[in-house]
A = this chain, B = another copy of it.
Amino acid sequence: MRYFIQFSYDGTHYHGWQIQPHSVSVQEVLQKALSTLLRQDVNVVGAGRTDTGVHARVMYAHFDHGVQIDGPQLVYKLNKILPSDIAVQRVCEVDGELHARFSATSRTYHYFVHLAKSPFLRHYSYKLYGEVDFAKMNEAAARLMEFEDFTSFSKVNTDTKTNLCQVTRAVWEEVAPGEWRFTVSANRFLRNMVRAIVGTLLEVGRGKLTVEDFCEIIRAKNRCSAGDSVPGHALFLVDVTYPEGSLCG
């Protein structure tokens, strides 16, 4: 049987989602916990990768298991043995064809920035210095929907076959005075893409690039022309969607 697991994690102390040879990843910790409780080696496949320090409010993975699982009981036990920075919300059986990564129809990320020094935001938001024009950044962000090839915002030398993505939402909103959130949704994201987009949008917000420059950078399909990537600690994967009815309620 195939099972989906929904969970969240604070990525501060992890080298991202994917298993690495010499550092701790969320995938490794989750696999170990599942393997312990199910008393056999379990391989989990995630909805996507998150980089070092990036968080997930809603993340999915799938795994296969030959024996019927009591979902709520496994959730309870997992939360007992997993560290405090990983929490499981549900485990449920799905159709054997449903794939955490390939069946996902869209992903949504949030990136947080703030303008004044704050003791409470520093771990999960990026502190900006100087003046930033969010209206201009929203103007540029809206243009993302006009493009499909995001090579300019991808990491060089990855194994991805295509750099085509359909961005369906990209907007900056002020969530509290001086605190802004960028929401971006797409059918898929390239590695490093959200952080490179935010870094380049900030150049627009600071007046170093015009909205037209921003579009030109995308058209160039050249990573070197884009702005610097912003830090990972302010980035959250907040939603992954699957075909309607494919996940348990």
Which A residues form the contact surface with B (CB < 8 A)?
A: 8-10, 55, 57, 79, 84-89, 116-120, 122, 124
Contact = CB atoms under 8 A, between A and B. Distances in A.
Contacts of A85: 119, 122
B84 A120 contact: no
Contacts of A120: 8, 10, 55, 57, 124
Number of copies: 2
A82 to B, nearest CB: 8
Contacts of A122: 84-85
A10 B119 contact: yes
A237 to B, nearest CB: 13
Nearest to A76: B117
A70 B84 CA distance: 45
A92 to B, nearest CB: 17
- The CB with the most chain B CB atoms within 10 A, among A57, A84, A118, A120, is that of A120
A154 B184 CA distance: 49
